[in-house]
């Protein structure tokens, strides 16, 4: 098959070609958003387990957030395109409860994405040089974790809906959304449980001296307390720490 025959194959049925093109961009948006969201959640977990946030790895988080935004934009553009396309060609498809549920999920995803960009990411940036949850109340920590759970589930769920055509016109939107909310609750509880299980170990590791993850020299109290004559600077390198220990710094 030469190029001419290939082009003729696409232009022979413009309706099918338009629908295929929208599906392609829709899948690209889902892939970008899901991949970026998973990367963000893994990076947040890494920040917690490593003990402190460093500027270089935060740059990866910032880049991943832009990838997620691009995926969400493609999702909205292709989604609106689908609605217009169905209204003009197959109006009956607009009555599919799965479409209604997906619209609600994408709307929640958009609101949560705005919250992440306006609140959570600036909060993470402000923690550079310290641990992820240092100085953050339990309520704010829970909000961060719930937002992460909403992001992950809200990207995975549309992919699942698209992968199961058996749900078309078969399951009410309320049932789909109920399952969606249950998954968010399960994901949020799992994240809280993980933090509670790893927090003691992480705090213990932060208190031990090491080349990358310590905030203060192990065994020294925090600066400002009566028994803290000298605390190790947060960004002290390995050589600087050795000099301070030997009294030459």
Neighbouring C-alpha atoms within 13 Å toward the C-beta of 72: 22
In this structure, are residues 198 and 49 in contact, taking their beta carbons and an 8 Å threshold?
yes
Return the residue matching tokens 């600087």. Answer: 240
Tell me: the pLDDT tens digits for 115-130?
999 988 888 888 787 7
pLDDT of residue 205: 46
For residue 47, what are its two tokens? 């920040």
What is the distance between the alpha carbons of residues 53 and 47, in angstroms, rounded to a whole number? 5
CA 216 – CA 134 distance, rounded (Å): 13
Q: pLDDT: is 33 or 205 the higher one?
A: 33
Does the structure show a pLDDT above 80 at 43? no
- Which stretches does DSSP call E strand in the chain? none
Write out pLDDT tens, residues 18-41. 888 899 999 999 999 999 988 888
| Choice between 11 and 228, residue whose per-residue pLDDT is larger | 11
How much is the pLDDT for 129?
A: 79
| Statement: residue 210 has pLDDT above 80 | no
- Show the 3-state SS of 13-50: CHHHHHHHHHHHHHHHHHHHHHHHHHHHHHHHHHHHHH
Do the beta carbons of residue 130 and residue 222 sit within 8 Å? no
Stated pTM of the model: 0.73
189 confidence band (pLDDT: 50, 70, 90): very high
| Residue 235 confidence class, pLDDT cut points 50, 70, 90 | very low
- With left for phi above 0 and alpha for psi between -120 and 50, is residue 208 left, alpha or beta? beta
Determine the Cα–Cα distance for residues 85 and 99; give it in Å rounded to an integer.
Answer: 13
**C-alpha 1: how far from chain center:** 43
Q: What is the DSSP string of 199-227?
A: HHHHHHHHHS--TTT-SS-TTPPPTTSTT
Residue 128: beta bridge partners? 53
| Domain chopping of the chain, boundaries | 10-207, 211-249
């Amino acid at each position: 098959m030469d190029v001419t025959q290939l082009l003729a194959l696409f232009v022979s049925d413009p309706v099918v070609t338009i629908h295929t093109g929208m599906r392609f961009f829709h899948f690209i948006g889902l892939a970008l958003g899901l991949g970026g969201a998973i990367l963000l959640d893994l990076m947040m977990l890494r920040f917690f387990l490593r003990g402190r946030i460093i500027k270089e790895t935060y740059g990866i988080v910032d880049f991943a957030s832009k990838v997620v935004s691009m995926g969400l934009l493609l999702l909205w553009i292709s989604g609106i395109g689908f609605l217009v396309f169905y209204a003009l060609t197959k109006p009956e498809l607009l009555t599919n409860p799965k479409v209604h549920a997906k619209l609600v999920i994408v709307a929640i995803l958009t609101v949560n994405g705005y919250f992440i960009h306006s609140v959570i990411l600036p909060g993470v940036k402000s923690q550079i040089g310290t641990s992820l949850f240092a100085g953050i109340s339990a309520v704010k920590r829970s909000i961060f974790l719930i937002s992460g759970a909403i992001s992950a589930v809200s990207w995975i769920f549309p992919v699942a809906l698209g992968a199961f055509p058996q749900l078309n016109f078969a399951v009410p939107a309320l049932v789909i959304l109920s399952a969606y909310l249950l998954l968010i609750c399960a994901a949020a509880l799992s994240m809280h449980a993980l933090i509670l299980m790893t927090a003691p170990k992480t705090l213990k590791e932060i208190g031990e001296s090491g080349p990358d993850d310590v905030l203060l020299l192990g065994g020294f109290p925090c600066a400002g307390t009566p028994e803290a004559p000298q605390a190790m600077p947060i960004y002290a390198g390995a050589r600087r720490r050795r000099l301070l220990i030997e009294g030459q710094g």
